[in-house]
Structure 1
Amino acid sequence: MQLRLKIVLLTILPLLLAMSALGTLVVHRADRLAEQQAVLIEDSLYRAKQAELQHYVQLALTAIDPLYRSGRSDAATQEQAKRILSGISYGDDGYFFAYDLAGKNLVHPRKPELVGRNLWDLTDPHGRHVIRSLLNKARHGGGFQRYEWEKPTTRKMSEKLGYVVLLERWGWMIGTGVYLDDVERAIRASRDKARANVHATLWDIAAVALGAVLLVFAGGLALNVSEQRVADKKLKVLAQRLVNSQEQERARVSRELHDGISQLLVSTKFQFELVQHKLESGGLDVQEALNKGLAGLTEALGEVRRVSHDLRPSALDMLGLSAALGQLASEFEQRTGTRVVVGNRLGDLVLPDLEAVALFRIAQEAFTNIERHAGAKSVALELGCVDRTIRLAITDDGCGFDVEDVSRSTTGGIGLHNIRERVEHLGGTLVLTSTSAGTLLEVTLPLRSEEAHHAS
């Protein structure tokens, strides 16, 4: 082969391979970021729906509170309460329902034919016992339940999130629900937009690749000694352009992830403010509850921004695992006021990056769960190395939870599932015990001695 052709081929082939690899990497990273974005959107919308339902049920309880607090339980009083609940609605599909503890419907303004019927054995298209599950939530202090129910405006079955509470003296379960069509649409739109961005990026990469190939080919046709030097210089420029293109694409995807979620949450905040305005116009004293909801939403916005910039724990790279965990505990103590005792017996041992990141993420998840759910007054964190095994133990004196129930749940316990997957991936063991006196999370990982070393 002529030298000219050899140089052209040696230039074009690596360029095409690099572009192909770059395109594959962009697709893979974009798909993963799109899925993470969808999960975050679903979680934020789901939490917003839960807060919305709690406010609505509180509104209904406020409406019948004078009757319930009167101490009367006669039929006339209860009939008056039923009329009040039947007359309250919100939006196009929002209404309140009531059942007795045997499953008999007492109030249903959108389907009056159900009033008086016992729906204990009613199931949705997925086989879920709707009324039975709602009553179980109410008996345990109230809670949320997902099921399918006919949507009044469309007359079609649709996924719904219900929230119920128990009026113990009357033996009533009162609740309401919101349909989740908008959540599904938002997630679907997010995925569609991510796919469109990936396609546009691939076309851009293809255009850059085509232009680069044509440029190299044209230079090869007029090759001489001086042109060879110019070609070498151009190849270096192209290589740098590839690196810059890759970094710019990563920055763009990260920026869109951050701005998109933030704008979505801001939009949701405006909706709450609109609800606040409507309720204020009605003269109902729900100002304090709405203000708390808005404050929580504002805090969620700050959390999303923090997570978007926390793709890699910089403290771990700069300070090492022991110092990073100490900083994490200190920030948690300052933020929540909960006392944290750190016991570090790892010394100056530097762990492999994979194990260090995994333990740091596990500790982050544990502190997040304690802050959100435990109501603990003190937390203890212990880190040490025993018999070529790294041990991390986090103990709190909070209210505890049912470990088996959370492990079996399909809608909760995501953080616990993530911890289990991290530990199993590294060949370690996880021990989680919880009682009303507190919770213990203990993780042990085998130490890869060939990668671990002592700090100099």
Structure 2
Amino acid sequence: MRLTHKVVLLAMTPLIAAMSLIAVAQRHQEELLAKRQQALVKSAYMEAARSELRHFVAMALSTISPLYNTGRDDDEIKQQVMRQLAALDYGSDGYFFLYNDEGVNLMHARQPELVGRNLRRLRDAYGQFPIQLMMDKAKAGGGFVDYSWHKPSSDADAAKVAYVTPLPRWHWWFGTGLYVDDVDQVLAQLDEELAASVNTTTRWIAGISVAGLLLIFGVGLWLNMHELRLADAKLTLLTRQLVSSQESERAYLARELHDGTGQTLVSVKLLAESALQRLNAAELGDERALAARTALQRAVDRLRDALVEVRGMSHRLRPVMLDTLGLPAALAQMAQEMWGDSATRFTLRTDGAVEDLPEAIKTVLFRVTQEALANIEKHAAASRVELQLDFTPAGLQLRVQDNGRGFDTEFFQRHPSRGLGLRHMRERLAAIDGTLSISSHPGQTLLLANVPKAVITRFSRQEPNANRQP
């Protein structure tokens, strides 16, 4: 992510967080308000229903009291009471019911098929025994019972609240109930209206947030884009100069080791070998001559090892082939030094017309390949390594592929300190406007480094002597 994007994101984040918190708080408050409103509406509705039920039962008692208070207990007077209760209906779902103390239905104005049946063990939709509950309530002097019962107008079970009262002399109790499923419809309608209000408020908050974000984005771009581009360009130039300085210093040290220290070691080695040859030619047989020959031979061997080490250091600092024969030859030499005597099979392919690349580009690609091959040698345990350079009209692509154990690329992206080599490769390519992609799983790891043709052309113009052989 570019620095410009980070700055804009830093400005947007507080606004997004603030508006999100406002939206969450607003939705939370409206949910609380909805619950309170539902509780108040339901409470008021149920209180009105209970008050109405008490009124109906009181009205029924006043109707049957003249008959009940006569003191008669014969069937005729009881039948008159039943008929009066059956006639006291109100609406399609308002009626009275009558039971004895054993739970046998004596009168039901809407469901005559229940008359004569003992309904104490009848379960409602809630799994409870409503007749038993009402019978217990009547024995306690009367009261309210919440239950579920068949609703005649809808031909389905619905929530209902009933008020029952006893007729103790006859061992009867009667009551009436109101269906309260209408309150659910009212609450559902309130929920819909409140949800619509919440959605409208949320849309307003979202609109204000988007407008604020766009304003911040536009102002941020207008104020900072030019300066950030200049800073980015200066940083990129500084990185290139730093890499160029490092490579120049490497080249200098390589030349000094090769031409200075290396030549000195060669001279000393030749002198020691000459002295050893003369000492052997003298054919001296005493112990001191034998010891001198042995010491000189050890000196020659160590000088030979030191010379090989110095040449290796010189090549690692800056391979001469990279400047003389180009990138493919330098890569082949590096691979030969790594795996020339091992069982690992190495293949180098070059597709397309090979171009003499600018100094900066071939140096970066050489260092990226050097790091990749070093990682393969240390960690991959691969038996086959393939290296391919594709020169195409679109640019240059470097492919490094092995059949090793692989690694978790996401882990190294989350923990940059654990993958310094990968980060350095990305930074080197980014410094020349190239890209790096890596995919890995057990049995195959593929590294792709791409440098567009336009970048190669631009660096060629910046390095007019790049195509000249030193």
TM-score, L = length of structure 2: 0.45
Q: Which structure is larger by alpha-carbon Rg, 1 or 2?
A: 2
TM-score, L = length of structure 1: 0.47
